[in-house]
Amino acid sequence: MKKLLSYLVPLKGKKYKSEINGQLELNWYEGKLMLDSKNANYSYGALQRALSVGLQGIGKIKVKQANSILILGMGAGCVIETIRKDFQNNGEITAVEIDPVVVDIAKKYFNIGRFFKVKIVEADAFEFVKKKDVSYDLVIVDLFIDKETPSQFSSTEFLNNLENLIAPLGSLLFNTVNIRGKHSERNEGIIKLLSKSGKVEVLEGVEGGNDLILLQKN
């Protein structure tokens, strides 16, 4: 019933309290269940649409043919749904999510287990990229606490470790916040560092609030 009514008016759903993300909400909008933080969409709404635009920017064939994919910041798994359904990718996916509350929500309400060849890792993405010695054809970074990306994810240490995880000729989609219609100083630093590894493109103001930094590695 909520699904049908949500086509007429957005409906608030169950609320959760997370030590990491604060207040989380399950809300219905236009027939779709979404996960929201206090001030932002976390999964299956504007965020899913924005990440889909970024993946299209990388290239449908390239995404489809990626044999290994790393997602830093899984949320409830909307980008996994997009990769599988819209890009027909059958590769191995490793999804890193620090918040156990979010992982539980993804399993209970969004049936994340329906997707094959997906490994969920409950870990801090900053520490995860330090320790990994494998490479991925596609890396997606979507690391937010509410509307902010923690500062460590724009540090030189993190970006260097991240770049080392991208396979030769691999791709990166890095979701950042659009501030008053322009790049932030932080984003300029990310772009400058990543440009040393290959071709960088920025899709500005996607879904109104996201700047998507795309890297095609040499």
Q: Which residues are catalytic?
A: 142
Cβ proximity of 214 and 173 under 8 Å: yes
List the one residue out of 94, 84, 44, 46 whose CA is nearest residue 64.
84
d(CA 135, CA 92): 12
Q: Within its chain, how far is the Cα of 183 from the centroid? A: 19
Cβ proximity of 101 and 20 under 8 Å: yes
Token digits of residue 108: 């209970």
Spatial CB neighbours of 18, under 8 Å, sequence gap ≥ 6: 24, 99, 101, 102
- Helices 156-165 and 185-194, interaxial angle, to 10°? 40
Q: What are 106-110's contacts with CB under 8 Å, separation 24+?
A: 106/43, 106/74, 106/75, 106/76, 106/77, 109/26, 109/33, 109/35, 109/76, 110/33, 110/35, 110/43, 110/44, 110/76, 110/77, 110/78
Q: Give SS3 for 78.
A: helix
